[in-house]
Amino acid sequence: MWKLVFVQVYPNNVNEQNLSYKETPLIGICVSDTKPEFRSVAVKRLQSFPHNTTIVIFRIQNLNIAQLTVIGDILEKKAGKISKKKGTLPLPDVIYIQCLIDPILVNKIEKQIGRMIFNNFIFDKWQGWELLAGDCILRDHLPNTWKIEREEDLLQPLNSYKDIFLKPIDPIYGHSGRGIFRVKLQNEGRLEVFYWKEGEMRKEKFKSFTIFWSMFSRGLLAEKYIVQQSIQTVNVDKKVTDIRLHMNKNSLGKWEVSTLLCRVATNDSHISHELHKIARIKLLENLLDSQIANHDDWERAIVNLGFQICNVFDRLGYHMADLGMDFGVDQNGHLWIFEVNPLPYPYQLPNQQNAFCKPIEYALYLALKSGFDN
Ligand SMILES: Nc1ncnc2c1ncn2[C@@H]1O[C@H](COP(=O)(O)OP(=O)(O)O)[C@@H](O)[C@H]1O
Ligand SMILES: [Mg+2]
C-alpha cells in the first residue's frame, strides 16, 4: 500500500498535509495539448463509471521516469462524487494513452510497470493500413492505398480508378474529414474536387491535373498524405453513408462492441464534421436488403470484421483496448475499411456510455489481474 501525496504547488514543492490512502488501483490517463478534448473526455469517463475509483490525468512531460512519479490532475470518485486536486503520485498501476507518444518512452514505462499501458500504439493512417493489409482476410476489405511522395504517385491511381481520396496521414491533424480531398477524373482530363471548408462541402472544378497539382501540392507535400481508391457507398437521400464501429476491451479483458452506428453525410462525397443523420445500423440494413439481392446478416458481418481487426492488433502484440473503426458498404454489398482510429472520440448520444467507461473497466481488470492488492 502506498500513500497519495496531494500537493497545492508542484513539481518539487510537495505539501504533505493532505494524505489519503490508496483504496483502488490508480489509473493514469495520458493526454496532450494537441488533443486537449481528451482531457474533458477523461473526466466524462470517470463520471459515467458507476464505481469508486481514482484517475490521474497527466501530460507525458509530467511523468518522471527516473523518480517514478507523475504530476497531474487527480480525480477521486467516492459515493458518486468526484473530487479534484493537482498532485504528485507514484507511477499509476495502469496507463491509458490518449495522445501521440514516442514508442521508446512507452517501452521505458513498460519496464517499470509491466504491460500495463494500453492503446500503446498510436499509429498514423499509413501505418494502420500497412498493418491491416498484412492480414489476408482484411486485405480484401481495404481500398488500395499508397503514400504520396511525388506527383506521379497521385497520377497513377487517378488514371486507374478515376476517383480517389487524398488523406492526411497524421492522426493528430487529420480527423472528421479534415484535410481530405476527393478527386474525380472527368472527360478530357478535367477534375472535380470535393473538400470540406468553412462549414460546407465544396465542389471545385479544375481544367487539368497540372492546375490542381500546382494549387494543392504545397499543402499535400507539407502534410504527409496517402492516396486511396474511392469507394461508392450506398446512399440515403442521395447522400453517402458510412459506419462507425467502436470496440473496447471490457472488465473481462475481452473485446466487445460499444457503438455501432450508420452515418449519413450532408453531401454525395464523404462524411465530414457535420452529418445529415446518424442512425441505428438498422437503417443501413433495410437499405441493403432493398437494394442488394443477396440478403445477409449485415450487423454480424460488420461486427465480425471489427473482431478480425482487433484480433490482428492482439496477435501482433500491440496492447490496444479502444479502437474506432470507419467502414462503408458499396453498392454490391462489400464491406470496406476506411480507417481504424487508435484515438477514437466517443459519440455523446443517449445509451452510448460504454465507449466512455469501458477503458476504465479494462484498466481495473488489468490492475486486478496483475495482483493489485490494497
Ligand atoms: N476510400 C474511401 N472511399 C469512400 N469514402 C471514404 C474513403 N475514405 C474515407 N472515406 C469517407 O471519408 C470519411 C473520413 O475519412 P477517414 O479516413 O475516416 O478520415 P478522418 O480521419 O478524417 O476521419 C470516412 O468516414 C468515409 O465516410
Ligand atoms: Mg474517420
Q: Where are the alpha helices (DSSP H) in the chain?
A: 37-48, 103-113, 125-133, 136-139, 152-161, 209-222, 281-291, 298-315, 354-369
Cα separation, 317 vs 341, in Å, equals: 17
Higher pLDDT, 374 or 263: 263
Is there a domain that residue 357 lies in? no
106 and 52: one domain? yes
Asked if residues 53 and 332 have their Cβ atoms less than 8 Å apart, the reply is no
Buried b / exposed e along 148-158 (16+ C-beta atoms within 10 A): beeeeebeebb
Quick one: pLDDT at residue 12?
34
Quick one: pLDDT at residue 8?
30
Distance of CA 343 to the CA centre of its chain: 3
pTM of the model: 0.91
Query: Residue 5: how many CB atoms within 10 A of its CB?
Result: 18
Is there a domain that residue 162 lies in? yes
55 and 10: one domain? yes
331 and 239: one domain? yes
Quick one: pLDDT at residue 291?
79
Is there a domain that residue 107 lies in? yes
Q: How far is the CA of 181 from the centre of ligand 2 (A)?
A: 14
Mutate to test the pocket of ligand 1, among 144, 196, 264, 338 (most ligand atoms within 8 A of CB): 338
Is there a domain that residue 360 lies in? no
Quick one: pLDDT at residue 10?
28
49 and 115: one domain? yes
**Ligand approaching nearest to the C-alpha of 174:** 1
Write the DSSP symbol of residue 134. T
134 and 155: one domain? no
207 and 289: one domain? no
pLDDT band at 17 (very low <50, low <70, confident <90, very high): very low
Residue 345: all three cell numbers together: 472520440
pLDDT digits (tens, 9 = 90+) for 152-200: 889 999 999 999 999 999 876 666 767 899 999 999 999 999 999 888 8
275 and 133: one domain? yes
pLDDT digits (tens, 9 = 90+) for 197-242: 888 899 999 999 999 988 878 776 677 899 999 999 999 989 999 9
- For cell 452529418, name the residue: 275
**Ligand approaching nearest to the C-alpha of 141:** 1
Asked if residues 75 and 53 have their Cβ atoms less than 8 Å apart, the reply is no
To 10 degrees, what angle do helices 209-222 and 152-161 make? 120
Q: Which residues pair with 148 in a beta bridge?
A: 225
Quick one: pLDDT at residue 295?
66
* Dihedral over alpha carbons 324, 328, 334, 337 (to 10 degrees): -40
Residues near ligand 1 (Cβ within 6 A): 143, 165, 167, 174-178, 180, 228-231, 242, 270-271, 326, 328, 338-339
164 and 288: one domain? no
Average pLDDT over residues 244-260: 97
Asked if residues 232 and 331 have their Cβ atoms less than 8 Å apart, the reply is yes
Q: How far is the CA of 228 from the centre of ligand 1 (A)?
A: 10
Q: Which residues pair with 147 in a beta bridge?
A: 226
Residue 315: all three cell numbers together: 496477435
Q: Which residues pair with 81 in a beta bridge?
A: 78
Q: Give the position, in ligand 1's atom list, of the atom nearest the Cα of 271.
A: 27
**Ligand approaching nearest to the C-alpha of 176:** 1
CATH label of the domain that carries residue 237? 3.30.470.20
Residue 138's domain comprises 125-142+232-342
Q: In what order do the strands lie in the sheet with 225-229?
A: 145-148, 225-229, 163-168, 181-185, 191-197, 200-206
pLDDT digits (tens, 9 = 90+) for 38-84: 999 999 999 999 999 999 999 999 999 999 999 999 999 999 999 99
Quick one: pLDDT at residue 20?
44
Ligand 1 atom 1 nearest Cα: 230
96 and 112: one domain? yes
